[in-house]
Amino acid sequence: MFGRKPKSILTFKSDTINYDQVSDLLAKLWQLLEEKGLENAEVKQIYSVVTEMLENIYRYSDTIKTKDNDSLMLSVFETKSKHYQIVLRNPAETDKATKLKEKIEFVNSLTKIGLKKLYQYEIVRRKDENHSGAGLGLIIIARKTIEPLKIELQKFNDNITLITLTAFMQI
Amino acid sequence: MLEIQLYRMMKPFKIEPTNVSPKIFYDIKKHHFEIGGFSRMENVRAFYQDFFDWFDKNKAEILSTINPSTKLHIELHLIYFNSASLKCFLDILLQFKKLYSTNDGKGSLYNIEVFWYFEEGDEDMIEVGEDYSDVIEIPFTFVESKSK
């Protein structure tokens, strides 16, 4: 799959996360990418996708206890020069996980122009409007990635599913 | 007393930036609004609510300083902002659009000029600005600044 062994540049594993940890991870990511010599605009592309992913798990993830304390997981890999793979895992109620999968399949089905239109619709849409949207964060991620977002669902127990989301980026 | 009230009214709204929150500056007297930096706070809406509350409270006074030739100068110097901030920026721009509009009998004219600053090579930032410009139907001037 990869031309060389993907190199992990940032990893986080835990069963819980607070906003200070989110901020620390993002600050560390920015610093690591800068140290690699990336331009600010390139750093921001990756930072933006990771921010949306981390904020999503901070706000919406369910909390479960696992033996290895790793139900929440974020990994940023450099697969080859300027190619990055971001993997996020989090637990969620099974019906929410299924809905997320449907949203991702919908977002993945859109063309670049379709994504732009959906993005513009979502920034104007108010929360109290009568249906849930695709999720602005998800659209932002999809607009910055080079391949469709990959989602895998794994049953944890009768109510909880582990979601693994993978984004592929080329900067 | 009136002088004190006028002075208070004319005092710019100002929030200093942090590592995760932006600078906000609005000089009513000069009709100059500026926002810049990062916008990635734990509670984005609560952060911007201070500005919206102040804006609502002072709307009448701000309106009293606007005449048909008044033009609002907006500068956006954003480095990074999350999805929740996108909606708040839009709300700010829409509030200004409503306030600084006149009707010449044929339709509304929006007396606003928006300068969208982006770092050299930051195509994503240009795209976000273009999306905003499309949505609020006001042309933006894009200004490139040198990457550090």
Q: pLDDT tens across A98-115, in order? A: 999 999 999 999 999 999
Cα–Cα distance measured from residue A148 to residue A169, given in angstroms and rounded to the nearest whole number: 10
Contact A20, A42 (CB under 8 A): no
> Dihedrals φ, ψ of B130, to 5°?
-65, -40
Cα–Cα distance measured from residue A119 to residue B34, given in angstroms and rounded to the nearest whole number: 24
Please state which of the four CATH numbers 2.40.50.140, 1.20.1250.20, 3.50.30.60, 3.30.565.10 is assigned to the domain occupying A7-170: 3.30.565.10
Mean pLDDT of A41-70: 94
Mean pLDDT of A7-35: 96
Cα–Cα distance measured from residue B145 to residue B131, given in angstroms and rounded to the nearest whole number: 20
B51-57: Cβ within 8 A, 24+ apart = B51/B13, B51/B15, B51/B24, B51/B26, B51/B92, B52/B91, B52/B92, B52/B95, B54/B13, B55/B13, B55/B95
Pick from B42, B83, B122: CB nearest A44: B122
Q: CA of A158 to nearest chain B CA: how many angstroms apart?
A: 32
Does pLDDT of A97 surpass 60? yes
Contact B116, B129 (CB under 8 A): yes
Among A28-32, A81-85, B66-70, the range scoring the smallest mean pLDDT is B66-70
Query: Which residue of A lies nearest to B126 if distances are taken between CA atoms?
Result: A41
Among A2-6, A131-135, B23-27, the range scoring the smallest mean pLDDT is A131-135
Provide the sign of the torsion angle of the four alpha carbons A113, B77, A169, A155, taken in this order: negative
Pick from A52, A124, A144: CB nearest B135: A124
Chain A residues with a Cβ under 8 Å from any Cβ in chain B? 19, 23, 26-27, 39-41, 44-45, 47-48, 51-52, 55, 116, 119-120, 123-124, 136-137, 140, 144
Does pLDDT of A165 surpass 90? yes
Dump strand ranges (E) for B46-94.
72-81
Q: CA of A17 to nearest chain B CA: how many angstroms apart?
A: 13
β-sheet bridge partners, residue B37: B78
Distances (CA, A) of A89 to A36, A61, A161, B95, B109: 26, 10, 10, 39, 49
Q: Indicate yes or no: pTM above 0.95.
A: no
β-sheet bridge partners, residue B74: B33, B114
Contact B70, B111 (CB under 8 A): yes
Count Cβ atoms below 10 Å from residue B89 Cβ, excluding itself: 19
Residue entry with tokens 């990959």: A150
Query: Which residue of B lies nearest to A121 if distances are taken between CA atoms?
Result: B135
Dump strand ranges (E) for chain A.
7-14, 72-80, 83-93, 150-155, 160-170
A125-129: Cβ within 8 A, 24+ apart = none
Range of the domain at B38: 2-145
Mean pLDDT of A40-48: 96
Q: What percent of chain A has pLDDT over 70?
A: 93
Does pLDDT of A124 surpass 80? yes
Does pLDDT of A10 surpass 70? yes
Contact A160, A92 (CB under 8 A): yes
B147/A45 CB distance under 8 A: no
What was the pLDDT predicted at A98? 96
Residues of chain B below pLDDT 50 = none
B122/A41 CB distance under 8 A: yes
Computed over every residue of chain A, the mean pLDDT equals: 92
Considering its fold, how many domains does chain B have in total?
A: 1
Does pLDDT of A82 surpass 80? yes
β-sheet bridge partners, residue A168: A85
Spell out which residues of chain A touch residue B81, defining contact as CB-CB under 8 Å.
none
Q: CA of A40 to nearest chain B CA: how many angstroms apart?
A: 7
Residue entry with tokens 């609005």: B26
